[in-house]
């Protein structure tokens, strides 16, 4: 780990006034890890733990979650468990109990990919050094993306929570030197394209202050399914966040996103659209899930994710909506 200075921010304005060589730290469960292996080397750490960015509240305007709330705390909040089970489940399937007790909501949404080439500073990586290359295309790529793959990068996005929030049309709230703004989380995450090193639509000095999820009653009928090599402390090979609005056995609306298969949390509006107006059945879910992989570009070792994506979505839909009308 390289030398750095430390600063405790006393106000949001003080924090957002820091320079481009600074990094915000809350739980530090991802940032410090990357600093230890020299993947990230900020010259200054700005501690934001004293800032007023906490609270989990629900009203007619939606669910608001402060960026500094801990993952474990949010997962157990009655309003989240009852009205947004997909969020609670995504959080509880993330990392380990110890990390969930430390990691903040904002930090989770900003975490970096777990691609082995990104984390090995000896290897070239377009995320670390744009233009240096991406060995994953011809190397170890079993865990990598099949959706949103560009010429420069095929690494998957690691957050489970982000998949659930993207599915539910959540917005992220930002504050920076130019003031405050809100942006849909789906737009906040960027495809690699020609700038794989820029993963988020965040400006220098901007700070995540919280997340807002629309208050929609039928989000109560939702779930998060995560498929991984082992049951705990493992990243997704594929995951699905699903919410269904149903009238008896008819589907009126749907929200769907997938994780573990995309270079960002992958929203699937066409799959959702294919369900609207249909009667619940295993066949309905399987037919809709077929659409999910139509733009897939599998690599040498992860072609199995095409089938896995369809099956994961079908299983999640059956879990939420039932498989037999």
Mean pLDDT score, 60-85? 98
Can you tell me the distance from the alpha carbon of 91 to that of 259, in angstroms, rounded to the nearest whole number? 13
In this predicted structure, which of 15-24, 67-76, 113-122, 200-209 has the lowest mean pLDDT?
Answer: 15-24
Residue carrying structure tokens 């779930």: 223
The residue count for the chain:
325
| pLDDT more than 90, % of the chain | 95
Predicted pLDDT at 178: 92
- Contact (CB, 8 A) for 171 and 109: no
Please tell me the distance from the alpha carbon of residue 210 to that of residue 204, in angstroms, as a whole number: 17
- Say yes or no to pLDDT of 325 above 60: no
Give burial (CB, 10 Å; 0-12/13-18/19+) of 59.
Answer: exposed
Report whether 176 contacts 291 (CB < 8 A).
Answer: no
* SS3 per residue for 286-313: HHHHHHHHCCCCCCCCCCHHHHHHHHHH
Output the pLDDT for position 34.
97
What is the residue extent of each domain of the chain? 220-321
pLDDT number for residue 17: 82
Q: What is the pLDDT of residues 256-299, one digit of tens each?
A: 999 999 999 999 999 999 999 999 999 999 999 999 999 999 99
Q: What pLDDT band is residue 324 in, cutting at 50, 70 and 90? A: low
Q: pLDDT tens for residues 161-208?
A: 999 999 999 999 999 999 999 999 999 999 999 999 999 999 999 999
Question: How close are the terminal C-alpha atoms of the chain, in Å?
Answer: 58
Measured CA to CA in angstroms, residue 183 lies from 111, 169, 180, 212, 267 at distances of 18, 10, 10, 10, 15
Ranking 15-19, 85-89, 120-124, 239-243 by mean pLDDT, the lowest is: 15-19
Mean pLDDT of 247-259: 97
pLDDT value of residue 201:
96
Q: Could you name the CATH architecture of 220-321?
A: 2-Layer Sandwich (3.30)
Measure CA 264 to chain center: 7
pLDDT at 202: 95
With cut-offs at 50, 70 and 90, classify the pLDDT of residue 18: confident
- Please give the Cα distance from 316 to 251 (Å, whole number): 15
Mean per-residue pLDDT, 12-22: 87
């Amino acid at each position: 780990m390289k030398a750095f200075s430390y600063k405790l921010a006393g106000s949001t304005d003080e924090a957002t006034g820091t320079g481009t060589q600074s990094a915000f730290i809350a739980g530090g469960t991802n940032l410090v890890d990357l600093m230890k292996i020299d993947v990230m080397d900020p010259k200054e750490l700005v501690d934001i733990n004293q800032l007023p960015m906490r609270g989990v509240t629900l009203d007619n305007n939606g669910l608001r979650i402060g960026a500094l709330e801990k993952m474990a705390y949010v997962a157990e909040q009655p309003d989240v468990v009852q009205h947004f089970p997909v969020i609670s489940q995504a959080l509880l399937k993330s990392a380990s109990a110890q990390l969930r007790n430390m990691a903040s909501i904002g930090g989770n949404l900003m975490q970096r990919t777990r691609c082995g080439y990104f984390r090995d500073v000896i290897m070239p990586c377009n995320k670390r050094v744009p233009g240096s290359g991406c060995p994953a295309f011809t190397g170890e790529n079993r865990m990598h993306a099949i959706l949103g793959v560009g010429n420069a990068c095929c690494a998957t996005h690691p957050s489970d929570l982000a998949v659930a929030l993207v599915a539910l049309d959540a917005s992220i709230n930002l504050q920076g030197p130019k003031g405050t703004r809100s942006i849909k989380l789906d737009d906040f995450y960027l495809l690699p394209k020609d700038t794989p090193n820029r993963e988020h639509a965040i400006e220098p000095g901007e700070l995540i202050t919280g997340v807002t999820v629309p208050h929609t009653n039928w989000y109560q009928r939702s779930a998060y399914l995560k498929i991984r090599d082992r049951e705990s402390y493992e990243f997704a090979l594929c995951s699905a966040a699903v919410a269904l609005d149903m009238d008896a056995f008819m589907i009126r609306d749907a929200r769907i996103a997938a994780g573990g298969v995309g270079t960002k949390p992958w929203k699937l509006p066409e799959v959702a659209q294919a369900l609207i107006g249909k009667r619940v059945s295993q066949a309905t879910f399987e037919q809709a899930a077929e659409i999910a992989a139509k733009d897939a570009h599998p690599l040498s070792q992860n072609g199995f994710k095409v089938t896995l994506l369809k099956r994961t979505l079908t299983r999640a839909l059956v879990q939420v909506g039932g498989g037999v009308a």
